[in-house]
Amino acid sequence: MRILGSLGSAGGRGVVRMEERYGTDIDDLWSAITDPPRLARWLGDIVRDGGSYHARYHASGWEGDVRIDVCEPPRRLRVVDAGDHVTEVTLTADGDQTMLVWEARGMPLHLLPAYGAGNQIHVEDLTAYLAGRDRCDAAARFRELEPAYKVCATRAPSICPLGPKIGRSLGRVKNASVTRRRLLAGVGSAVVAGLAGCGASTAETPPRQPASPTPSPRVTDEAALRRKIASLLVVGFRGETVNSNDWIVKAIRNGLGGVILFDKELATNGPRNISSPAQVTALVKSLRQASPGRLIVSIDQEGGQVARLNPSNGFPATKSEAEIGAENSPAATRAWAQQIASSLTSIGANLNYAPVVDLNLNPNNPAIGQLGRSFSANVDVVVTNATEEIQVHRASKVKTSLKHFPGFGTATGNTDFDVVDVSATWRPIELEPFQRLIASGNADSVLVAHLLIKQLDPNLPASLSPAVVTNLLRGQLGFKGPTVSDDMQAAAITRRYGRDESVALALKAGLDLLVFANQQVYDPNVVDETLDNVVNLVRTGQLTEAQIDQAVTRVDTLRPR
């Protein structure tokens, strides 16, 4: 068997194309890619949910909604996922054999190798299923294939003959490490989802059209409304310098609320916004000069491993919260916090997504415990040290954000890459640091996590739940200040709800400041498209201008004075 993979681009997005010949007739192959019981043997579980379908793939664990765009049994199937990735499968009969052409489109160009490897894994799993064999070890196969596709991508558009023997021989190419994020990208939403019911009709299903919003008297000045909504967004961008033609500068001039700075690109580990103190200071100055108001310049500067300003870009090393909590010395904590705050003020940053006030209840937690991001498992230690850190930041005119409400300490996964359900491990004591810091007036803002805690909300993650944000945080805990989202492009929510629905749910839940890191996906249109979405929510009465105004008032308390 030889699978022929090709990589290319169209319209600035990636294209992956696979071809394979199968020793079965076209009707049998069509059934294998559309019949749910057969799909479950090689691809994953597909469940109909109203007019769309919910998929969970075996190879990567990717989970999300997809819809049929075109269905022409038994020859052509095209599906689109919530991230607008398109996969099209075409079958052509050739005697008692069938030729399959599998084409995935719309992925970021820098992820082409991952998508190439991921799509090949699915085609191989389909081949194995039809031959009566088991699926491959997806992670191991990904490690073998991705390096070869990296070589292929350097000369895309190109053809990569990668039969199993050849592909495995290329596993010695350097940088063959696999990560959960890359595996999810490549073996996730870009692959075909054979869908129940598709085979029952020969008619093409037209693409879903957006509903025509009914103008509402609530919107008296749409330009003013757009600026209000823009002020509730914090967005990441690429570049160590900016100019007047950059999309991020244009967005800032039009009222964007803030930016978030990163030292590295998530996908490549290459530099993003920070290479030296002088460079990033000049960058922040340019951004602030473009703003007609008081721009929020935000960053994750927790200390330890989560520090965007670090020795690699000319800033001092800082201890982790775990190290500070172990010392548990007010003087040492103040000195540590002053070092962090001084680095922030030196570049012009004014909002730090810190401190982490999660309790270290699971030392093996890959997102918290293993990274030393929690002061302690002891509530008193957490509250005491967090208070010192917040007070030092305030003295330096830097705002802070308590995270990750309602408590991330017991998790076994990372919400950046997957849905994390902590229902079985979460404890009410995890609320206590937040409750005490709010009660003592030491909460500038609270960052709400994309965690599923079914005893608080059986259906929605905390960040999208009115029961958590409005009833628990604002009601029971009495928090009156601004609430902040975790990354609105995180897989934990976008794979299940899509970006627009996630934004709608977040605002309805009571979140005020929405953060788009532009790391897991990079979308220069995210500001304009989010504004269109939220304006439509107001037009159609799903949100009110009064709700937007209240959020603006709360977020304004985070702005520099």
For 55-103, write each residue's pLDDT tens digit. Answer: 777 776 666 777 888 888 989 998 887 667 888 999 998 888 998 888 8
User: What order do you get walking across the sheet with 86-94 strand by strand?
Assistant: 44-49, 52-57, 63-72, 76-81, 86-94, 97-107, 13-22, 4-10, 158-161
Q: Would strands 351-352 and 399-400 be described as parallel, antiparallel, or unpaired? A: parallel
pLDDT at residue 531 above 80?
yes
Letter for the amino acid at 84? D
Q: Report the distance separating Cα 395 and Cα 35, nearest Å.
A: 63
- Mean of all residue pLDDT scores within the chain: 85
Q: Report the distance separating Cα 286 and Cα 537, nearest Å.
A: 33
C-alpha closest to that of 211 among 51, 49, 46, 47: 51
Torsional sign, CA 159, 161, 167, 169: negative
CB 455 within 8 A of CB 426: yes
CB 141 within 8 A of CB 178: no
Q: Tell me the pLDDT band of 413, cut-offs 50, 70 and 90.
A: low
Same domain (yes/no): 155, 278: no
Same domain (yes/no): 27, 113: yes
Share of the chain above pLDDT 90, in %: 56
pLDDT at residue 2 above 80?
no
Q: 164: cis peptide before it, omega within 30°? A: no
Question: What's the confidence (pLDDT) of residue 250?
Answer: 96
pLDDT at residue 318 above 90?
yes
* 240-270 confidence digits (pLDDT tens): 999 999 999 999 999 999 999 999 999 899 9
Question: What's the confidence (pLDDT) of residue 416?
Answer: 54
Same domain (yes/no): 344, 384: yes
Question: Is 62 domain-assigned?
Answer: yes
Question: Is 211 domain-assigned?
Answer: no
Count structural domains, the chain.
Answer: 2
Same domain (yes/no): 80, 191: yes
Could you tell me the CATH number of the domain that includes residue 494? 3.20.20.300
Same domain (yes/no): 347, 433: yes
* Range of 55-59, 117-121, 292-296, 309-313 with top mean pLDDT: 309-313
Q: Stretch 417-442: mean pLDDT, rounded?
A: 92
Question: Could you tell me where the beta strands, DSSP code E, fall in 292-380?
Answer: 296-299, 301-303, 306-307, 351-352
Same domain (yes/no): 266, 378: yes
Same domain (yes/no): 425, 467: yes
Q: Report the distance separating Cα 340 and Cα 334, nearest Å.
A: 10
Greater pLDDT, 318 or 166: 318
- Domain finish residue from 200, 233, 267: 200
Q: Report the distance separating Cα 403 and Cα 540, nearest Å.
A: 33
Same domain (yes/no): 245, 189: no
pTM of the model: 0.63
* Range of 40-44, 87-91, 101-105, 405-409 with top mean pLDDT: 405-409
Q: Stretch 535-559: mean pLDDT, rounded?
A: 95
Q: Stretch 398-427: mean pLDDT, rounded?
A: 86
Question: What's the confidence (pLDDT) of residue 82?
Answer: 66
257 burial (CB, 10 Å; 0-12 / 13-18 / 19+) is: buried
Q: Tell me the pLDDT band of 418, cut-offs 50, 70 and 90.
A: low
Bridge partners, residue 87, by sequence: 79, 104
Same domain (yes/no): 419, 275: yes
| Choice among 77-91, 115-129, 192-206, 273-287 with the minimum mean pLDDT | 192-206
Same domain (yes/no): 393, 542: yes
pLDDT at residue 207 above 50?
no
Same domain (yes/no): 434, 526: yes
CB 151 within 8 A of CB 173: yes
Same domain (yes/no): 47, 94: yes
Question: What's the confidence (pLDDT) of residue 181?
Answer: 47
Question: Is 219 domain-assigned?
Answer: no
* Residue labelled with tokens 């269109």: 532
* 151-184 confidence digits (pLDDT tens): 776 654 444 543 333 233 333 333 333 454 455 5
Question: Is 207 domain-assigned?
Answer: no
Question: Is 215 domain-assigned?
Answer: no
Q: Tell me the pLDDT band of 461, cut-offs 50, 70 and 90.
A: very high
- DSSP H or E stretch at residue 166: helix 164-169
**Residue 513 phi/psi, 5° resolution?**
-105, 120
Question: Is 414 domain-assigned?
Answer: yes
Question: Is 438 domain-assigned?
Answer: yes
> Range of 375's domain?
224-556
Bridge partners, residue 48, by sequence: 53
Q: Tell me the pLDDT band of 414, cut-offs 50, 70 and 90.
A: low
Q: What is the DSSP letter of 369?
A: G
- Domain finish residue from 200, 215, 242: 200
Torsional sign, CA 332, 336, 337, 341: positive
By three-state DSSP, how is residue 132 classified? coil
Question: What's the confidence (pLDDT) of residue 4?
Answer: 53
Could you tell me the CATH number of the domain that includes residue 70? 3.30.530.20
